[in-house]
A and B are shown apart, each in its own frame.
Chain A
């Protein structure tokens, strides 16, 4: 996708547009060939109007005045986008913003549209509206590449489906006569390890008790935005609690609240019977909380520091990293060697910087580090994101093994199969609340997905009709 849009160069292979082989060195080349991209995270300026956002960077095309406005109107009417050019962007909702993004791309003369996970942030009705827009575009002769992991949506909107797994094309199918199940099999691949937990190891000893957690933020206009509201759950020893949800519904904030990076507005957090609601992060870590952060580059590693210093990170007060106030560099170094061996971190040595390792190996180092301090509770946010298949299986194994020994795990993931496979209990988070719970033994990804968009709440029962 990034290659197609000129953000990265391919090592091998060709791209052919309208029968012509082309090479894109940057996004401008791609735009010149009529390829436009709508990013998952919108690239729009809040303090500008829709018109200004659209012409920004493309002033040469139709100017910035009446001509541009007329063109925007024309495109908007032609494809039924219903965009008002003079509204400030900050007044628009997510769906409207997405239409502005699409219009921006069309304004630049795109004939091929790439949409990256466009529905991730939309509610079902908005998704339908978007699909109507896409059908209009199609009818006008434009090509749309729709990237999504939501199988139902792909089946309903696409004319042809190509399944990509771990960087290679595994198949191309027609949506007619293909079921979500067949598609899912193509996506996951039956030979791949599945994150299934065999026997339950859940005990009745509560380890983490979260009660009435509330987190709110007052923005610049004085409006209070509620980020987390009334979050309560208990994780027992040997239990994996999975939290499903579309990203941005408060999962990151929940993790930061439990880690003590964010202060609570209300509620209590108790670890192993001790109230830790107002204890600083370091003490929580020392008390036995392991943390695999969702953004390992920002929160889990010092990229320009050598591996052995990264092994100390987050556990500087604990052995073998330090004795009293002094670092024990020798012990830390030899323990880094041990982690590299035990967790199969592929590196030529412990003096290379963390940045020079691949994402999977960085993640294995983090998992190894967090597991090395005998955690009672592991907070794993997207533990296998961006990790190759081998490392993924290894990380799942480590989590399962520790769980057998009584580790409690809070698992947050966007990978529904991972969630269903690893968890003993599942909760669904939507707009800062835990809205539903489910039994991972019977639930399907589709059923979980409907709760993630707020369509279903309460206890999710698996019904045979849904399974198809």
Chain B
């Protein structure tokens, strides 16, 4: 029954219940915030990178590369210009191009973007670690008024193959007029990918042409109404598209083809490498990320300052206790270790609780983040990278704990067996 030092420490911590609990909660919240910001940053990056796996080039109207990436793949913002479908189709015959998937954006369904494309989309577009798209129900669209929906759309709106849906003209807040005269039938539901595809309604390019036959300049032509059964009488081949995804025969040709497209005469096009443009995007938002991390680090510092304040403020009341320990044979080193261990244990408990809080929050908020912001936050306890952050927090806690420990050490030297206040 030789009392170990940690036994004394734990008993001392338990003795100061409320202050201890509040200190641990403060540290836990600050650690959860720091790790949460870091996790959100990493998961957002992984989520974005997963959306463009397998695509070598994205081609659209000339403008900003980041803007093209954002509106074509992530459905953030809108294209200010579209491009000639013929110009895009001409690229399909280029010797370096293995596949080409055109995209036509601009319509929506109950807040979810409608993507006009071809059936090649399901054959060539990959997500995550180069995983092909998979149907959980039904099949790809075939007829003009058929649609395939992403997993999120199916879950949120309760759609299954056979459901009838109506598309709206425009996207997001600007979606107003509906193409109610030409309803679509859902033919397939895609498996969840963790990318914007989950929140998309995919239809054929012919469908985009068909619903706009009686529209001009963004509004319905007065007095003109073409019923769905007559649309096949019109030329439904696309005239303009928003962008195209391209896969190459050989990755080594990517820079040559990019240069070729960017310098080609005629209608100005721009080809971007998704990975490179993503890096550019991260450079742009890097400052904000760093600022967020800095704020989180300051919150952790405040949490640790609270820890030091709690232990230091308890010291005056504990000088008698320290004097007793000294008289019983404890050296100043024992007293120092007792206080250090106490602070470090509180920091450890706070950090552990912080990890659990983050795990619970990420599990709870993950569906909402996915639905609202398209960011896949994977609920998990801790990653090796987060473990490094945690080690840094504990290192800082040890340094901060030196303050009360050294103070107690000095008290124990000065007080002897009596408390001189």
A and B interact:
no
Residues of chain B at the chain A interface (Cβ within 8 Å): none
